[in-house]
Every structure is written in C-alpha cells, then in structure tokens.
C-alpha cells in the first residue's frame, strides 16, 4: 500500500506517521509537500498532526488553502481513504470534509496525556479490525480538541454512526472526567457520511510499538491496510 503523508509548513507528526507505516508496518510511504497539486498513485492520505502555519489565526484555517488540499478533496470525493490526526482532523474540519469545529480545551491548556477511546463504530475502513465497543488507549496532545457542532449536525452524526471514537474511562464507561478537553458528547473522532474520511484527535501513531509502551493504535492502521487490500482484490479503490 502506498500511503501519502502531507507535509504542511509546521506539520510535526509527519515523520511519526512515516515511521509507523514504513518502518513498523512495512508499507510504502510518500511524503507530499503541501505546495504539490497531485496525489496520483496514492492509496490513502494522512493529514498528520502538528501546528500547520503555526496554528496562527485558527487551527487548520490556513492549511486548508494549501494547493494540495484541492487534490485531497478530489481524492476523498472519489472514495479514497483520508485520515486526519489531531491537526489533520482540524484541517479536515476547516476544509469542510468533516462537519463541526474545534474549540479551545476546557482547561484552556495544551494537554498531553494518555486517553481511552471507545470504538463506537467498528464497521469503518479504519476500525474494522476492532471489536465494537473495544477500548483503545491512545494519547492526545493538543490545545484545541474540544469538538463542537450544532445540535442538528450532532444528531445527524449520532444517527448515521459517524461518531467513531468517544473518550471513555479505562473500563469503557463514559464520564465527563474521561474527556480531556470538554468535547461535545465525548467525541474523539468522526467520519464523513460516506465513511472514507476519518478525523480523530488522539494520536494512534504514538502507540504502535511496544518499545514505547503501547501498540493499541496499530489497529487503526492495520484496518486501513486490510480494507485497501480487500478492495484491491475486488477491484475498487
């Protein structure tokens, strides 16, 4: 599988994503400079975490104008897999590929810590190797991860099983304390209606190897690889 990792000015989890796919999971990885305009030949696209354009103005607000984003939108509309992690999720929101917006964390601080997320939808290309309701331990690291949207959109997300991950306690119980940032409905990750675009605030690339203590995040990447292989065998993207 050939994974494209977009490098915006200020991306800083681009190398981490490259490392996991290339060195841990033995896939091909192409780093795509944000000024490029084509994503041809790629089987999935990652928008990595970081501080694109320094998070100046608003997280993701400037990155959505990067030339590459037109190609990413096209790729998504054709059904290609797009995964936005942290700042990548924020960019997907600003670009309109996912609904809603990010507010400042409830504590007003940047927060870096382990969180637990519950897999609310295990029937997506990003989660199908997980069990429904499975709890994954994945760290967060952000200042603006407090997901917000209007009640109608929220109801739509819930009704269409677009909420893929919710923050929870280690035992899977859904409590306000288990949510690190004040997100609406403990939302940690959502997908688009078609199911091929996922954004999440936690960093699965930071927990994909036992040498750094945890590999719960692998399930997401392995799901992507498996679903691409399955689709390839039946001749669709």
230 sits in which H/E element: helix 218-233
Q: How far apart are CA 227 and CA 216, in angstroms?
A: 18
- Coil, strand, or helix at residue 62? coil
Contacting residue, 64, 166, 191, 203, with another protein by CB under 8 A = 203
Applying CB under 8 A, which part among 112-120, 125-133, 183-191, 220-228 lies near another protein?
112-120
Angle at 196 between CA 6 and CA 58, to 5 degrees: 50
- Residue 16 binding another protein, by CB under 8 A: yes
22-51 mask for another protein (x: CB under 8 A)?
Answer: -x-------------------------xxx
In the complex, least distance from residue 30 CB atom to another protein, rounded to whole angstroms: 17
Instruction: Give me the helices (H) in 63-193, please.
Output: 68-77, 87-94, 151-159
Contact 104, 144 (CB under 8 A): yes
Contacting residue, 1, 3, 5, 13, with another protein by CB under 8 A = 13
Among residue numbers 122 through 161, which ones bind another protein (CB under 8 A)?
Answer: 139, 141, 143
In the complex, least distance from residue 213 CB atom to another protein, rounded to whole angstroms: 7
Active site residues: 86, 203, 205
Tell me how long the chain is.
237
The sign one gets for the Cα dihedral 115, 116, 120, 122 is positive
What letter would DSSP give residue 216?
A: T
User: Which residues form the interface with another protein (CB under 8 A)?
Assistant: 9-10, 12-13, 15-16, 19-20, 23, 49-51, 53-56, 109-114, 139, 141, 143, 203, 205-206, 208-209, 211-213
């Amino acid at each position: 599988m050939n994974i494209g990792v977009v490098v915006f000015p200020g991306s800083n989890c681009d190398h981490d994503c490259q490392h996991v796919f290339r060195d841990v999971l033995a896939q091909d990885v192409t780093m795509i400079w944000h000024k490029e305009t084509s994503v041809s030949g790629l089987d999935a696209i990652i928008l990595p975490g970081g501080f694109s354009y320094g998070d100046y103005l608003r997280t993701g607000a400037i990155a959505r104008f990067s030339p590459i984003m037109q190609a990413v939108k096209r790729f998504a509309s054709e059904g290609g897999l797009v995964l936005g992690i942290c700042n990548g999720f924020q960019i997907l929101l600003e670009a309109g590929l996912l609904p809603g917006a990010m507010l400042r964390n409830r504590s007003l601080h940047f927060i870096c810590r382990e969180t637990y997320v519950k897999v609310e939808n295990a029937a997506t290309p990003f989660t199908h190797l997980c069990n429904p309701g499975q709890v994954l331990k994945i760290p967060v690291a952000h200042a603006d991860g407090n997901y917000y949207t209007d009640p109608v959109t929220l109801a739509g997300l819930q009704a269409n099983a677009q909420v893929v991950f919710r923050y929870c306690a280690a035992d899977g119980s859904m409590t306000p304390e288990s949510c690190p940032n004040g997100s609406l409905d403990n939302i940690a990750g959502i997908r688009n209606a078609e199911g091929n675009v996922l954004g999440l605030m936690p960093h699965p690339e930071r927990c994909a190897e036992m040498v750094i203590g945890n590999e719960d995040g692998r399930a997401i990447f392995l799901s992507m690889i498996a679903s691409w292989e399955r689709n390839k065998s039946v001749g669709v993207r």
